[in-house]
Structure 1
Amino acid sequence: MSRPVVIPLDHVQLKDRGLVVCDIDEVVLEYLSPFTAYLRSRGHDLLPRSFRLHGNIVETASGQAVLDAVVDALQEDFFAAQEAWQTPAALAVETLAALGRDADVVFLTAMPPRHAEARRRLLDRLGLPFPMLATEEPKGPVVSALHRSRPLPLAFVDDIHGNHRSVQASAPEALLVHLMANQVFRAMAPEAGDSIHCASDWREAERIIRAHFAQPARP
């Protein structure tokens, strides 16, 4: 049995149409590139040695990997400073605006909720006014609670396969789309598997989503 969703959903008002639930970091906003720039400003660097942060963030002076607790602290500091560093991923703003004319778009970001206000300001400033949910809980139950098994198309866009598996378990009707802005780390991502559609950019992601939404509605 999946655990109950504890984050408030009342501010998300869906219409009688398809739903696109979309991750933010590395999908809508650049994350790894600005985070690397931020690390360098703090005397650290991110080395593209594997598809993870822990173990790949090093002290610039020594070249030594930092402790996991230091990685967590640097991520926390970056989230606090995100408005000064993060920019939209290529084609994200215009593609989501186009999708938003025909479907509901909801952002689901894996981020400590204490940073949600700063992220909301950043999204609004960039022309991305869609509702946002910030949580560190598994994404599958949240997507399921949003969609409520409606006989309408559902798409989920994320850069982490673990999140796709979570959604697949809780909302098996969802179209799963893998999208990642940073091409260096994207090349090191694990194999997606047959159930996940991989998009090279937002233009391809839009084609995949629209093709799915054009299929006949479920009974």
Structure 2
Amino acid sequence: MIDDLVHELRASTRPLVICDIDEVVLEFLDPFQDFLASMQYRLHADSFHLKGNVRSVVDGSAASHEAIHEFEETFFATQDRWQRPARNAKSVLDALHEMADIVFLTAMPPRHHAVRRTLLDNLDIRFPMISTDEAKGPIAAGLIGAAGRPSVFIDDLHTNLHSVRSHAPDCMLINMMASDVFRALAPPPGEGVNLALDWNHADNLIRAHFASLRAL
């Protein structure tokens, strides 16, 4: 399925927007906080990490790495009960689709693909999606293709942005995060990465980038 999608997108001559989902298209941290509350845990905004910050509301003890992994697994398996669209994500993506191809590239175990696909469809967010445990850079480069058409990659995590920069150096990079609280704790995204405060800001950055390339 991934190979078919890559082939289809590489055959297009339109600009391409490759977009992460968690904390970009869908809120993740606030819904995850709600999920943890149902498990008698809380995510504390002490640093830009889950480990050490997920603590019991009963005795304050930090959840183990294994417990956090189980929480994430259960959350992703039931994400349709918790997650909701980031503000203005759908309207901006729908408008951008008039001028560009849109594809989602989410770092989520592929076993949860069907649940997320159903959630997005129910929200009428119907752009194609790739779920992967692999590095995003090589996949993004494959979607863009050797011709190097105008492209943008949006993600909340610096590691993913840097992976794409290594494999698709001409792709515009945008760091965006729905949670204002945790965005403030994040380290600087690094040289060559644009910071978008919200979807309206990202929309302006993307349109200006594509317009500048058309003017060349």
Instruction: Please report the TM-score for the alignment, with normalisation by the length of structure 2.
Output: 0.95
> In the alignment, does 2:21 pair up with 1:20?
no
The one of 87, 94, 102 aligned to 1:105: 102
> In the alignment, does 2:77 pair up with 1:71?
no
> In the alignment, does 2:113 pair up with 1:120?
no
Residue aligned with 2:42, SS: strand
> What is the match of residue 155 of structure 2?
158
Residue aligned with 1:93, SS: helix
1:218 is displaced (CA, Å) by: 11
> In the aligned structure 2, how far is the partner of 1:216 from the partner of 1:100?
18
> What is the match of residue 143 of structure 1?
140
1:194 is displaced (CA, Å) by: 2.8
CA offsets, 1:125-157, max 9 Å, x none? 111100000001110000001111324211000
> In the alignment, does 2:194 pair up with 1:197?
yes
The one of 5, 10, 15 aligned to 2:4: 10
User: What RMSD over aligned residues (CA atoms) do the two structures have, in Å?
Assistant: 1.5
Query: Is the contact made by 2:137 and 2:160 (CA closer than 8 Å) also made in structure 1?
Result: yes
1:60 is displaced (CA, Å) by: 1.2
The one of 176, 181, 198 aligned to 2:178: 181
> In the aligned structure 1, how far is the partner of 2:30 from the partner of 2:16?
29
Runs of 4+ in 1 over 6 A off after TM superposition: none
- Paired AA for residue 135 in structure 1: T
Structure 2 portions without partners, runs of 5+: none
CA offsets, 1:171-218, max 9 Å, x none? 001100011000000000011223100010000001101111112359
> In the alignment, does 2:54 pair up with 1:60?
no
> What is the match of residue 40 of structure 1?
37
> In the aligned structure 1, how far is the partner of 2:95 from the partner of 2:179?
23
> In the aligned structure 1, how far is the partner of 2:3 from the partner of 2:49?
30
- Paired AA for residue 74 in structure 1: F
- Paired AA for residue 121 in structure 1: T
Q: How many residues are matched?
A: 213
1:54 is displaced (CA, Å) by: 1.2
Query: Is the contact made by 2:15 and 2:100 (CA closer than 8 Å) also made in structure 1?
Result: yes
- Paired AA for residue 164 in structure 2: V
1:85 is displaced (CA, Å) by: 0.6
Query: Is the contact made by 2:150 and 2:213 (CA closer than 8 Å) also made in structure 1?
Result: no
Instruction: Please report the TM-score for the alignment, with normalisation by the length of structure 1.
Output: 0.94
> What is the match of residue 26 of structure 2?
29
Which stretch shows the higher mean deviation, 146-155 or 117-126? 146-155
Residue aligned with 1:9, SS: helix
1:122 is displaced (CA, Å) by: 0.6
Residue aligned with 2:3, SS: coil
The one of 65, 86, 92 aligned to 2:83: 86
Query: Is the contact made by 1:147 and 1:154 (CA closer than 8 Å) also made in structure 2?
Result: yes
> In the aligned structure 2, how far is the partner of 1:49 from the partner of 1:162?
20
